[in-house]
Structure 1
Amino acid sequence: MRRLAAVIAAVSAALAGPALADQAKTRGNLEITSDDGQFSAELGGRIHFDAYLFDDDIEDPVSTSEFRRTRITLSGHAYSWKYKLEQDFAAGNTQAGFRDVYLSHEFFGGSITIGQFKVYRGMEELTSSNELTEMERPFASATGLYEGRQFQQGIGWHNHWQCTTAGAMVYNLRNAAGPRNEGLGAAARFTWAPFNSEWSTVHLGISASREDANRDSDEIEAVANYAGRRGPSQLIALTPGDAGFFFGDYGDQEFYLGNPGGHFDSVGVELAATYGPLYAQAEYAYAKFDGDYAVSQQTFDNWFDRYPNCDPYFGCFIGDQDVRSWYVMGSWMITGEHKPYNGKKGVFKSAKPRSEWGAWELTARYDTIENRDIPDLQANSTIVGVNYYHNPRVRFMLNLVFGDDDFTDDKTKQLAIRAQMSW
């Protein structure tokens, strides 16, 4: 019996020895590092639970609730390579839920990233959803001008030097859930913070991108959800992807006059500043959507929600479309906190409460997007809100959204509420 006990003790010690050599850190999250420092794994995540109540006008959206985001994130390093694997379980299926999924390595003073990650364009676009001032991003982002093209598969390089950042990438026009296609895109962003102190910062930025649709590419769209998420949406512009893939869905082959594929170009400028508890941010983006195609009156109405006067034989012709979008946003931390600046990414982070009673923030934003080549095709959104930071990881948000679709004259309003936790 003693011999059996000795054997069990020896085996237990042998199994436990290597595990005890690894180091676990629990400051703010859970991180495990091997005893030689060559491997690490850090577990993170976020839960965003939303509720929407609509005051409908012409459109009739459904007031509802949903899990906006439910993500688990695993990140760390293996020798000199870093990795990140993030899955959003609110997306519906595994591939649609892929967010940041990549490998990265130091390269020429910065880091090179390979896999799926955010395209380097726009300040609000690159701000984490945990740090957003309003519940949804403005039209000058993948919520509008770059509809559905926030995370793309490709390779990019990014670096920062004291008060500046620079990044560039090339990518395929697909994410993990999208169809395999031969479309290609490229984007670059540069930022500069000429003044950055503990309690005040001035930020300037510029970005540009180009996307070329090709075989099996989806259409390239700009869409405005002008009354908040789950509310009515307005198609602003469209460049067709593969002709057979896209126009076959609408039975409009007899009206199609253009060539397969098309391209999209954009440029954006950024301006943001903090002064103590006050914060202001603005972006302007210009984009050109390649056109030169025609569709039937019925298809035009399906797309844009308004029946036009088109030629009965040649349909509705849509040429190149110039789209402009801009917004102005501000906030006031009425409890005196300050939004810190993330100099590595060129974005601002959420304020952290200074007391055990939490922090309060008043917010407002005016947002607009317009297609200059289709008369009256413009949508606007005005938001007033309040955020309560219970602690650095838990936040509650309330947004009152006043939507305005000039094209259809719809003026739906939304009351949106969020409970949010991240770790």
Structure 2
Amino acid sequence: MQTYKRRTISLMVAGLFSTLAPNLMAAEQDPETRIRQLEQMMQQMQQQRAEQDKQIELLTKELVGIENQISQSKIAKTEEKGKSEGSPVYAAFKDGLVFDDGSGNWKLQINGRVQADYRDYADSDWRTDTFNIRRARFGGTFTFLKDYAVRIEGEYANATDGSRGTTALTYGYLDINWWKQARIRIGQFKPFFGLERAYGTNFTDFTELSLATNNGASFNSTYDRGVMVFGDPLPWLNYNAYVINGSGQNNDELNNSATITGGIAVITKVDNTKDIGFRVNANLAKLMNIENAVIHVGGSYSDGSVAYSSASATGISQATEANGVSFFNVAGLQNADADRRRQGFETALAYGPVKIQSEYISTNYRGDRSGQRYDNDINAWYVNVNWMLTGEAYADSYKSGVFGRIKPKNNMAMGKSGWGAWELGLRYSKFDASDFESMLPAANAGTAYTPKADAWTAGVKWIMTPNARIMLNYIRTDFDTPITVAGKTDDQEKALIMRAQYDF
């Protein structure tokens, strides 16, 4: 570069001198001589211009050569550090950590969640106020060759009574996605029955499910093992159909049960028919091209038995929405060939930031207990209304027959104007098992149950970002008749639950 500068300055000085010198002598010469001199000067200037062009061309080539040397030097240094012979791996965050090869041959998505609760039970000896890890899960989904996916997820929260830690499989299945209209799922999964139970637990309207759908008398578990076909045959229509054990999470179904009588094992044959069920739902707003709205209608049905398994209880029971006291309990059904048939109807109407949702579920039990035949129903329902104060639309979170992740218009961030999304909610739910009243345990000094209860839940939800939220719920449960548990009698349970949640 220094050589280039020196050559350029020399050429400029020479050109300037050659131009000025003749001008100083011009005044002493006649016109003809002056013309000849000017012609000679023009020729000299043309020759000088040609020489300058050659010099510039040489300098340009020299600069290009220097740049090539620098580039080759950088490449050599990179090679000295090592190089990858395989395809690159790309990483991103999209509701989970995602790694893929960019071609669609494989993708790995890492997911997890933590739901940390504080539960306060007012004036009750049934449950102790406590900090609680409601859910702590970690897992991943591996997709390969675009059409196949394997999902594994574990639950690491403590047992609800605090007596032991639990590490249990929640999801463990293979998806075969040859057709969007009929995807196949095999393994342990959540069979979809009803709207509220089809929600992901990250996106429920309240901290807990209603009396109609929480695990209890009608549903022995969220997860089960079997095979399911599901899909969206039309943009506004969704369905699923399944065959499962019906024996609950992490349980294989057993055909025989054993009891000890007089020191002798008595084997009882149990008729364990598989649970067969389906759910069909439609979004009529999509069908009628109504923007910013959801008109959801649907129904569910299942038929099977109260299956005996290695870990199942011997009866059916129901707890409050706050996971407080169990107010209903009937024993001795699994080992008596009890048939269970469920049917449900669901609807949700959403327009902009307002949503109204309701379900009705009826469960029929038929069987023989201690020589007595029974044919009893449990009827339960709920209705809730939710309002996004910050204006987010529920339709934006609706997909394939269920509401999902709400994305705030402005995420909460310190030092910025965003405050996330805020939601208010109110729910009423009703549980009625009057048909089983005569089968409830006889009242005594320590225990007394009721077949009917209803609950009010009021909640506020702060969605700081799409992945982080804080929820506060007040739940009041009224029992049809006072219940007695552990010597404490009351006709009401009141609870306050606060939850901090993060999921990815």
TM-score by length of 1: 0.81
Instruction: Name the CA distance, whole Å, in 2 between partners of 1:233 and 1:61.
Output: 11
| CA deviation after TM superposition for structure 1 residue 381, in Å | 1.1
Check the 8 A contact 1:47/1:422 in 2, yes or no: yes
Q: Do structure 1's residue 405 and structure 2's residue 465 form an aligned pair?
A: no
Larger radius of gyration: 2
Q: Name 1:392's counterpart in structure 2.
A: 466
Check the 8 A contact 1:139/1:325 in 2, yes or no: yes
Check the 8 A contact 2:209/2:321 in 1, yes or no: no
| CA deviation after TM superposition for structure 1 residue 56, in Å | 3.1
| CA deviation after TM superposition for structure 1 residue 11, in Å | 10
Task: Answer with 164-173 or 103-112: which moved more.
Answer: 103-112
| CA deviation after TM superposition for structure 1 residue 25, in Å | 2.4
> In the TM superposition, what are the counterparts of 1:227-246 in structure 2 within 5 Å?
228-229=322-323, 231-235=324-328, 240-241=333-334, 243=335
Instruction: Name the CA distance, whole Å, in 1 between partners of 2:81 and 2:174.
Output: 36
Please give the per-residue CA displacement for 1:72-127, whole angstroms capped at 9, x wherever unaligned.
Answer: 12013122311111111115589862112110112553200000111121100010
Q: Name 2:82's counterpart in structure 1.
A: 13
Q: Do structure 1's residue 82 and structure 2's residue 149 form an aligned pair?
A: yes
Task: Please give the root-mean-square deviation of Cα atoms over the aligned residues, in Å.
Answer: 2.7
Q: Name 2:318's counterpart in structure 1.
A: 224
Check the 8 A contact 2:362/2:380 in 1, yes or no: yes
SS in 2 for 1:173: coil
Q: Name 1:363's counterpart in structure 2.
A: 425
Q: Do structure 1's residue 64 and structure 2's residue 138 form an aligned pair?
A: no
Task: Answer with 162-171 or 94-103: which moved more.
Answer: 94-103
Q: Do structure 1's residue 274 and structure 2's residue 350 form an aligned pair?
A: yes
> In the TM superposition, what are the counterparts of 1:173-212 in structure 2 within 5 Å?
173-178=246-251, 180-182=253-255, 183=272, 184-196=274-286, 197-212=290-305
- Indicate the structure with greater helix content: 2
| CA deviation after TM superposition for structure 1 residue 372, in Å | 2.8
CA distance change for structure 1 residues 402 and 236 in 2, over 3 Å: closer, same or farther? Answer: same
Q: Do structure 1's residue 285 and structure 2's residue 361 form an aligned pair?
A: yes
CA distance change for structure 1 residues 13 and 277 in 2, over 3 Å: closer, same or farther? Answer: same
CA distance change for structure 1 residues 147 and 11 in 2, over 3 Å: closer, same or farther? Answer: farther
Query: Residue type of the partner of 2:197?
Result: E
- Indicate the structure with greater strand content: 1
> In the TM superposition, what are the counterparts of 1:86-105 in structure 2 within 5 Å?
86-90=153-157, 97-105=168-176
Count of residue pairs brought into register by the alignment? 374
| CA deviation after TM superposition for structure 1 residue 175, in Å | 4.2
Instruction: Name the CA distance, whole Å, in 1 between partners of 2:308 and 2:493.
Output: 38
Q: Name 1:308's counterpart in structure 2.
A: none
Q: Name 2:259's counterpart in structure 1.
A: none
Unaligned runs of 5+ in 1: 1-8, 244-259, 295-313
Q: Name 2:500's counterpart in structure 1.
A: 419
Please give the per-residue CA displacement for 1:198-245, whole angstroms capped at 9, x wherever unaligned.
Answer: 42211001000112245647357553322512x11122556622x3xx
Instruction: Name the CA distance, whole Å, in 2 between partners of 1:82 and 1:33.
Output: 13
Please give the per-residue CA displacement for 1:3-24, whole angstroms capped at 9, x wherever unaligned.
Answer: xxxxxx989736x432x62222
Q: Name 1:320's counterpart in structure 2.
A: 375
> In the TM superposition, what are the counterparts of 1:244-263 in structure 2 within 5 Å?
260-263=336-339
Percent sequence identity is 25
Check the 8 A contact 1:322/1:373 in 2, yes or no: yes
Instruction: Name the CA distance, whole Å, in 1 between partners of 2:369 and 2:80.
Output: 74
Instruction: Name the CA distance, whole Å, in 2 between partners of 1:382 and 1:210.
Output: 30
Q: Name 1:47's counterpart in structure 2.
A: 114
Structure 1 residue corresponding to 2:202, chosen from 130, 140, 144: 130
CA distance change for structure 1 residues 13 and 95 in 2, over 3 Å: closer, same or farther? Answer: farther
Q: Name 1:248's counterpart in structure 2.
A: none
| CA deviation after TM superposition for structure 1 residue 60, in Å | 2.4
Structure 1 residue corresponding to 2:236, chosen from 159, 163, 166: 163
Check the 8 A contact 2:214/2:321 in 1, yes or no: no
Instruction: Name the CA distance, whole Å, in 1 between partners of 2:345 and 2:175.
Output: 27
Check the 8 A contact 1:147/1:223 in 2, yes or no: no
| CA deviation after TM superposition for structure 1 residue 29, in Å | 2.9
Instruction: Name the CA distance, whole Å, in 1 between partners of 2:97 and 2:243.
Output: 33
Q: Do structure 1's residue 118 and structure 2's residue 190 form an aligned pair?
A: yes
Check the 8 A contact 1:159/1:167 in 2, yes or no: yes
Check the 8 A contact 2:292/2:396 in 1, yes or no: no
| CA deviation after TM superposition for structure 1 residue 279, in Å | 0.9
Check the 8 A contact 1:238/1:289 in 2, yes or no: no
Q: Do structure 1's residue 345 and structure 2's residue 426 form an aligned pair?
A: no
Instruction: Name the CA distance, whole Å, in 2 between partners of 1:104 and 1:275.
Output: 33
Please give the per-residue CA displacement for 1:359-404, whole angstroms capped at 9, x wherever unaligned.
Answer: 2111111111111313461021111111111111110000001011
CA distance change for structure 1 residues 270 and 221 in 2, over 3 Å: closer, same or farther? Answer: farther
SS in 2 for 1:125: helix
Instruction: Name the CA distance, whole Å, in 1 between partners of 2:123 and 2:114.
Output: 28
CA distance change for structure 1 residues 75 and 214 in 2, over 3 Å: closer, same or farther? Answer: closer
Instruction: Name the CA distance, whole Å, in 2 between partners of 1:413 and 1:55.
Output: 5
Instruction: Name the CA distance, whole Å, in 2 between partners of 1:24 and 1:329.
Output: 40
Unaligned runs of 5+ in 2: 1-77, 256-271, 411-417, 438-449, 484-489
CA distance change for structure 1 residues 146 and 86 in 2, over 3 Å: closer, same or farther? Answer: farther
Instruction: Name the CA distance, whole Å, in 1 between partners of 2:251 and 2:165.
Output: 12
| CA deviation after TM superposition for structure 1 residue 145, in Å | 4.0
CA distance change for structure 1 residues 85 and 351 in 2, over 3 Å: closer, same or farther? Answer: same
| CA deviation after TM superposition for structure 1 residue 141, in Å | 2.0
Instruction: Name the CA distance, whole Å, in 2 between partners of 1:318 and 1:382.
Output: 35
CA distance change for structure 1 residues 96 and 28 in 2, over 3 Å: closer, same or farther? Answer: closer
Query: Residue type of the partner of 1:52?
Result: R
SS in 2 for 1:122: coil
Query: Residue type of the partner of 2:470?
Result: F
Instruction: Name the CA distance, whole Å, in 2 between partners of 1:227 and 1:43.
Output: 31
Check the 8 A contact 1:162/1:343 in 2, yes or no: no
Structure 1 residue corresponding to 2:215, chosen from 140, 143, 150: 143
Query: Residue type of the partner of 2:432?
Result: E
Task: Answer with 390-399 or 318-327: which moved more.
Answer: 318-327
